[in-house]
């Protein structure tokens, strides 16, 4: 083999190794490893009350054994299937990644923090608790 061919082959091997290393690195801003959870995982039975608030209107659903009932704003038996699905959905809650850190986009994604006493907030807030 001529020296010219050896140099070309060596250069091709070096470029291949560099390409593999560059392609395996994570992109800028990409998280490596497990994502941190903002709250602890909720186990089945670790909560018995769900309070859903939107625009200063709160609805509270309480689990009493196998029965579900709405306790606020009025007391009424809850739809068993829908209430059970709500409790199971909170138990299976998974967190993704940040959608946007720009405050101007919060209204678009309906995650803006309402001002105290504001009725025009679009964000829905869910609180799960055990007992009182």
- Per-residue model confidence (pLDDT) at position 17: 95
Locate the domains of the chain by residue range: 39-95+102-129
Residue 127 pairs in a beta bridge with: 51
Which of 89, 64, 87, 90 is closest to 77 using CA atoms?
64
C-alpha torsion 30→107→59→88, nearest 10: -20
Q: Using 50, 70 and 90 to split pLDDT, how confident is the model at 13?
A: very high
Which helix or strand (DSSP H or E) is residue 112 part of? none
Q: Using 50, 70 and 90 to split pLDDT, how confident is the model at 64?
A: confident
Share of the chain above pLDDT 90, in %: 14
SS3 (DSSP) at 52? strand
Whether pLDDT at 2 is above 80: yes
């Amino acid at each position: 083999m001529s020296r010219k061919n050896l140099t070309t082959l060596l250069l091709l091997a070096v470029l291949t190794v560099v390409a593999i290393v560059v392609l395996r690195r994570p992109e800028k801003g990409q998280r490596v490893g497990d994502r941190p959870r903002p709250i602890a995982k909720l186990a089945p039975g670790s909560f018995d009350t769900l309070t859903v608030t939107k625009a200063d209107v709160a609805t509270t659903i309480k689990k009493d054994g196998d029965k579900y009932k709405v306790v606020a704003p009025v007391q009424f038996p809850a739809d068993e299937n829908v209430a059970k699905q709500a409790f199971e959905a909170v138990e299976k809650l998974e967190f993704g990644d940040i959608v946007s850190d720009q405050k101007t986009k919060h209204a678009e994604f309906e995650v803006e923090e309402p001002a105290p006493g504001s009725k025009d907030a679009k964000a829905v807030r869910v609180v799960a608790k055990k007992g009182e």
